[in-house]
A and B are shown apart, each in its own frame.
Chain A
Amino acid sequence: MTNKLSASVAGGTESPLLRRRSGFAHRRSESMGAYTLLLPFLLLLLLAGLIPAAYALWTSLVNRTGSFAGIDNYVNVVTDFRFTSTFLNVFATMVLYVPLIVIIAVVFALLIHASSRRLSASVRFIFYLPGAFAGIANFVLWLYILDPTVSPVRWIWSVLGYDSLGEVAQGSNVPMILSLILLFQGVGSWMLIVYGALNTIPEELIEAAELDGANAFQRAWLIVLPILKPWIAYLSIMNIAYALQLFLEPTLLGNATNGKISPEWTPNQLSFTFAYGVGDLGAAAAMSIILLVLTLGIGLFIVTRTDLFGDAE
């Protein structure tokens, strides 16, 4: 400490007292900058996230006349004859979709990362393109593919023995169809995110491994993937959340098949029916709180298990 003091005095810099004060102010203005940038997001989170969630919680605890109803709404929801099947449906979709998108996004990102720059740029563009369509345009495209009367690949359907959209989109095929639609839409953007993450890995690390005798697969499996763990966790959380709260695609598919797919195929759709079909807003709110708790729970589990917000080594 005395050395530092004499050193700074000798070096002709400002006195340590002054420097300490400007250091403190510098950190304060840094965090003020962070809060400034965060403020719009926090405002939106409040208006579009926290306040509606609180309102839903309150709605789920009162009955139609406004008096406290305890867990009545939750009991109604859980004992509804469609409750279990909605969760089975989304889990069936999740079990197909999430592993596929994680594997495909990571594998493609690794392949593109390893290829030449020009090839990599054009392949990245091609893969990203489906994601650039608005969801509904993507869906209409899939309706054409799935309907044997207009499909460009109708030979697939005739091999499988399907003559109509209703047969293609029959109950047992729906999780696979939804997974395909979501994959087509999403794999491009996620692949780019993982690719961006790959670019942050220092070259020296990979070269060191190569010098140690690791082949391409070992480098990917033993070095790159562990570093990518936070991004894979992020990828999983976002897609599990979307799959759990699935609404748009099953509704559109149900409309397209003129009602053969139940309008209460997913939990979110069941909540919608409670709200606007039956007019029971309390039950709808209860279902949405159940979904919220489930999604938060899974998210927290993944965050803690993969140390997503932990400090880098």
Chain B
Amino acid sequence: MFSMKKRLFTIASIATFGILLGGCAATAPDDGTISIWVDAARVPAVDALQAKYPDMKLEVNTISNTGGSSGLKQQFTLFNQSGEGWPDVIFFGALDDIAWAASDPVDYAMDVSSVMSSDYWDGYSDAAIAPCILDGATVCVRNDQAQDVLWYNKTMFDQWGYTPPTTWEEYESLSLDIADNHPGYFTGLVGDALTTARYLWPSECPTNVRVDAETVKIDLEDSSCTRVKDMLNTLVEAGVVSAGGAFDSEVADKVGPNLVMTPGATWFGNYLFRDTFKVPAGQISASLPLAWEGEQPSTGNEGGGLWVASKHVADSKLGDVETILEFMTTDSSWQVELSTGFPAHGSVQDAWLAKQAADGYFADPDTVSEVFLEAGAMVAPYSLLNYNTGDVYTRTVAAKLASGGTFAEGWEDFASELPKEAKTFGYTVATK
């Protein structure tokens, strides 16, 4: 009786073990369904796609869009380990994501330079498609551009007798003027991860210059960096540039409605000023990006999404994948009617600008449209790496500002941590 009980227990535990193991083995058959991962803001794009191609079988997964999110990286690492599970098409909201997705060890992105037609590629300006070019291969297509322009409140400026500045030096002196004569108003935001794109990228400050696949140049002592640091330190001390970030709740409440001037992405207009800060219509306008005295104007880029196709797509599905990429970047039912970002592909830009002008939110829509178009070509070259410079900035400078320190103190932390972060990701850091 004793040994029979023991036998029963042994059989029961082996059976449980077996069931648990066996459950892992099931795989779904491939029936031509395209798996497509998008963030919440791009779900309407997928709906529009399905409306135009009702026979296409789509499986949609909504993902989070916090920039450089390691949640996505985690999933792709696991897919590589298990050999299955990659989405066929994915939308990246942050430019840096393509760097890790297209290089070792993840190596997910398909080279689409030969997949799309040459007419298609002609529609992209060099600056618009630049983030997708990695070591000679084109590993993604650009959904929208988020080039920085100079936003300002035309109504307040007219009231105070100001004209928008054309150089950074003018920006600084005008900001100090506003601090003295109109306290309580703001002319910039430096508390979020996009600050490096907004202020450092236009100055071509070498925060992350890709020398080759394993070497990065970081030189924050360069004059192109220190001039920005000194300017922002002065303006933050004067209280006219806010230590808050574009997505902070207290900025939406207190700073945003009083933001009379700021460099910012094309999406600042609708997403921030109109929808978040709720500035009344007819006040906000934009002018061309600023230049440092004696230099050509150049600007940065705060985002601008990417559509990426998987290397692991079955050949039978390639045609559909090509259709999807082309639809997402050039079809007006998504790009013109629904997309809130300035389209990256030239074929739909004019229609999008016309629709924006018709919406009538900006003080002078025609000027804003011209500015968007011109600024798009002014984006300076920028390297995308496996780590996010903006994230390091947020946890050093923005964190220091939040705990009552100065911008310059935060900058010291930033300068010491940035090379360490690069080294953790396996880069050798060069300073010259």
Question: Which A residues have a C-beta under 8 Å from some C-beta of B?
Answer: 28, 32, 35-36, 39, 43, 47, 64, 80-81, 147-150, 163-167, 169-172, 255, 257-263, 272-273, 275-279, 281
Contact = CB atoms under 8 A, between A and B. Distances in A.
A155 B73 CA distance: 41
A165 B247 contact: no
Contact of A43 (B16, B77, B403, B417): B16
Interface in B389-432: 391, 394-395, 398-399, 402-404, 417, 420, 424-426
Q: What are the 7 tightest A-B residue pairs by CB atom distance, in nearest-first order?
A: A276-B74, A170-B403, A166-B402, A259-B394, A164-B250, A260-B399, A81-B420
Nearest to A28: B2
Given A149-B249, A275-B77, A260 B66 contact: no
A149 B252 CA distance: 10
Contacts of B314: none
14 contacts: A39-B13, A43-B13, A149-B253, A165-B248, A165-B249, A166-B245, A167-B404, A171-B399, A258-B394, A259-B394, A262-B399, A275-B74, A275-B77, A276-B74
Of B66, B77, B250, B417, most buried by chain A (CB within 10 Å of CB) is B250
A258 B5 contact: no
B74 A259 contact: no
A273 B71 CA distance: 10
B228 interface: no
Residues of B in contact with A, size category: 35 or more
A278 B248 contact: no
A259 B248 contact: no
A170 B403 CA distance: 5
A69 B66 CA distance: 35
A164 B253 CA distance: 10
B2 A170 contact: no
Of B106, B387, B402, B417, most buried by chain A (CB within 10 Å of CB) is B402
B248 A80 contact: no
Nearest to B6: A32
A272 B74 CA distance: 9
B24 interface: no
Nearest to B421: A81
Given A261-B395, A279-B105, 19 more contacts: A32-B2, A43-B17, A149-B249, A171-B403, A255-B66, A257-B402, A259-B193, A259-B394, A260-B395, A262-B395, A262-B399, A263-B70, A263-B395, A275-B74, A276-B71, A276-B74, A277-B73, A278-B424, A279-B77
Contacts of B131: none
B386 to A, nearest CB: 8
A261 B398 CA distance: 10
Contacts of A163: 250, 254
B399 A170 contact: yes
A277 B70 contact: yes
A261 B70 CA distance: 15
A61 to B, nearest CB: 18
B426 A278 contact: yes
A68 B426 CA distance: 20
A147 B254 CA distance: 14
Contact of A164 (B106, B248, B391): B248
Contact of B77 (A255, A258, A276): A276
A166 B77 contact: no
Given A258-B245, A263-B70, A148 B20 contact: no
A164 B16 CA distance: 52
A261 B73 contact: no
B162 interface: no
A275 B73 CA distance: 9
Contacts of A272: 70, 74
Contacts of B251: 164
A259 B395 contact: yes
Contacts of B254: 163
A172 B403 contact: yes
Given A164-B244, A259-B193, A279-B106, A147 B403 contact: no
Contacts of B420: 81
A261 B244 contact: no
A66 B418 CA distance: 30
Contacts of A36: 9
B148 interface: no
Of B105, B254, B395, most buried by chain A (CB within 10 Å of CB) is B395
Nearest to B75: A276
Contacts of A276: 70-71, 73-74, 77
Contacts of A258: 192-193, 245, 247-248, 394
Nearest to B405: A170
Nearest to A172: B403
B17 to A, nearest CB: 8
A171 B245 CA distance: 17
Of B17, B251, B399, B426, most buried by chain A (CB within 10 Å of CB) is B399
A120 B364 CA distance: 69
B23 to A, nearest CB: 13
A245 to B, nearest CB: 18
A291 B70 CA distance: 22
B297 interface: no
B428 to A, nearest CB: 15
